[in-house]
Structure 1
Amino acid sequence: MKRAHSVARAIRSPMPLLLAPVLAVQAWRTVRRTPRLDPATGDEQGFVAGADPGRGPALRVMVIGESTAVGVGASRHAEALPGFLAEELGERLRRSVAWSVSGRNGATARRIIGGLVPPANGSAPNVVVVTTGINDLIRRRPLRRWAADVTELVALLRGRFPEATVLVAGMPPVHRFPALPRPLRSVLGARARAMDRITRDAAAAGGAVHAPMDEAMARDRRLFAADGFHPSAAGYRAWARDLARVAVAAAPAPAPGPAPGPGDPPQDTPPAGAVPPRTAD
């Protein structure tokens, strides 16, 4: 019943008065009928060997956030967003990738700020991906507070991992979620798009990169898990492919080093922490 109330709160917005009862009933039925899926299991860190050992030390990737960070809808983290993202980056860069995940099912942006961002240490990540927004949507976080939350989250990540490329995943196309009937999906979808615009602006202002989710993904039912709300393993793979493309394009080019002397070997190995430009698909 508590979940039903939280979903019902999400659809309260200026709208024709006659539509509000319909949305409330749809929210209640959706909660009753939607299966509850568990987070992915298995190790919360892993390693993908690269094809070219000469590419330098392993790239370190960290995924932080809500249910999609912890792989709800997939069986293991290696077959969810962190593992697939590492595979995609490894293939594009021909480089080894070490991945880790820090998240919690149901986490809001405030919850992520309050305790899900790991402390910086000697093995700081080179790429950080944060997934957040759906739970703030469900709880109908006021848009002004959402803007403040995502701005603070970006500042926290950029301050804690200043050398990393920080990707803020865009809001999913909620208006196409199979679990949501119309007009409920349209109302929630409109609010999700507003939240995504705020996220994009906050990321740009804070020195992070907004990575929008491809709406075409939501047209393929096979990319959704059994609940019609979270990605399936295939959905996580497709999403990871898009995130990897953005990460490689957004990463700064390696700083130029000193010119090699007559007897020096070729300087073709990128420095630790740099993501070299993609050379081939």
Structure 2
Amino acid sequence: MLWQETASTCSRDQPMHLPFWLTTAGLSPLLIYQGRNVRRNIVRLPEAGGDPSGQYGEGTPDRRVLVIGESTAAGVGVQRHDQGLASQLARLLHERSGETVAWHTCGINGATLAELVDNLPLETLPQADVVLLSMGVNDTTGFTPRSRFRRQLLALRETLKPRYPVPVQLLSVPPMHLFTALPSPLRQVVGWRARQLDNVYRVLARKRPEDFTYLPYETVTDTSLLAEDGYHPGEAGYRLMAESIASQLA
């Protein structure tokens, strides 16, 4: 995570972000101290329980939604998957269109993109015509180099393409500079890094629209919409995200 890596990754990243690495190196003693405190004190929530799939409407689905990724896809912050992002998104699409919408979510809590690529249970995932990827937080705190993050996105796309030929919808990397559970300046540094990884999404979606679509969504900043850890969305937070995404998918 952030406080475990500093200059060791600098040489592997692109030189245009030298100000970021100089700032990080200069603040590293404080960042390490703050990071350790966060890890020690943050409330650790489990993944959601219940069935990770469902359907709104009767009969054969007109639309199938699949969400893959890290803690958001794993439903951290709610008790059941039907309260999470995939379910709430499917319900909104059903209500707005009248179509029968099936949903499935598959998340690995705490995973980086490399770990998702290596451990995604592709053979057990259902068919889908809307595939959303929710990643970036753990790669941000783990200081994944942007070049490696891009390669892993391309590797994931090649893994998914035979089964899911539609473009992968890249949910924007959360704006971690707004995560009130993180102290300053740790919050600002990881927010800076999150924006860098989010820009990888934007560039890939612009250059390879047949493979990726960039999908921003309304940021969950209201603490009443967050789970008890102050870090993950609660049920109302996932609903806010789903409303923003559904408007774009419609």
| Structure 1 and Structure 2 fold alike (TM over 0.5) | yes
Post-superposition CA distance 1:95-133 (Å, at most 9, x none):
111111122111211122223152398x62111111111
Q: What is aligned with 2:149? A: 146
- Letter of the aligned partner of 1:190 in structure 2? W
Distance in 2 between the 1:186 and 1:148 partners? 26
Mapping of residues 261-276 of structure 1, within 5 Å: none
Task: Give yes or no for contact 1:224–1:235 (8 Å, CA) kept in 2.
Answer: yes
Residue 177 of structure 2 aligns with which residue?
Answer: 175
TM-score by length of 2: 0.86
- Taking the aligned partners of 1:194 and 1:75, their CA distance within structure 2 comes to 32
Q: Secondary structure at the match of 1:61?
A: strand
Residue 159 of structure 2 is aligned with which of 156, 160, 166?
A: 156
Q: Which residue in 2 is equivalent to 1:115?
A: 119
Query: What are the ranges of 5 or more consecutive residues in structure 2 without an aligned counterpart?
Result: 8-20
Shift in Å, 1:16:
7.1
Structure-1 separation of matches of 2:181 and 2:6: 15
CA distance in 1, matches of 2:32, 2:64: 44
Q: Secondary structure at the match of 1:69?
A: helix
Change (3 A) 1:35 1:143: same
Distance 2:113 2:229 in 1: 23
Shift of 1:228: 1.4
Within 2, Cα distance between the matches of 1:64 and 1:79? 16
Please state whether the residue corresponding to 2:71 is helix, strand or coil: coil
Instruction: Return the alpha-carbon distance in structure 2 between the equivalents of residues 185 and 169 of structure 1.
Output: 20
- Alpha-carbon distance in 2 for matches of 1:194, 1:109: 15
**Percent identity between the aligned chains?**
36
1:99-114 equivalences under 5 Å are 99-114=103-118
**1:26/1:237 Cα in 2 relative to 1: closer, same or farther (>3 Å)?**
same
Instruction: Encode CA deviations 1:147-183: one digit per residue, 9 max, x unaligned.
Output: 2112222343334311x35311110110000110111
Alignment length (residue pairs): 235
The answer as to whether partners of 2:6 and 2:25 remain within 8 angstroms in 1 is: no
Aligned partners of 2:24 and 2:144: how far apart in 1? 21
The CA deviation at 1:33 is 1.1
How far did 1:9 drift? Answer: 2.8
Partner of 1:195: 197
Give the aligned partner of residue 4 of structure 2: 9
The residue aligned with 2:73 is 69
Task: State which of 89, 95, 102 in structure 1 corresponds to 2:93.
Answer: 89
Provide closer, same or farther for how the CA distance between residues 221 and 124 of structure 1 changes in structure 2, counting only shifts above 3 A: same
1:38 corresponds to which letter in structure 2? P
Listed one character per residue, the Cα deviations across residues 48-88 of structure 1 (whole Å, up to 9, x for unaligned) are 117xx8xx743111111111001000111000111101111
2:132 paired with 1:137: no
Q: Is the 8 A contact 1:40 1:75 kept in 2?
A: yes
Q: CA deviation at 1:11?
A: 5.8
- Residue identity opposite 1:196 in structure 2: D
Decide which structure has greater helix share. 2
Whether contact under 8 Å (1:200, 1:210) holds in the other structure is yes
Shift in CA distance, 10/190, structure 1 to aligned 2, threshold 3 Å: farther
Q: Does the 8 Å CA contact 1:35/1:226 hold for their aligned counterparts?
A: yes
> What is the SS of the residue equivalent to 1:14?
helix
User: Is the alpha carbon distance of 1:85 and 1:117 closer, same or farther for their aligned partners in structure 2, counting shifts above 3 Å?
Assistant: farther
TM-score norm. by structure 1 comes to: 0.77
Give the 3-state SS of the residue equivalent to 1:62 in structure 2.
Answer: strand
Where does 1:13-24 land on structure 2 (aligned, <5 Å)?
A: 13-15=21-23, 19-24=27-32
Written as runs of structure 1 = structure 2, the 5 A alignment for 1:219-230 is 220-230=222-232
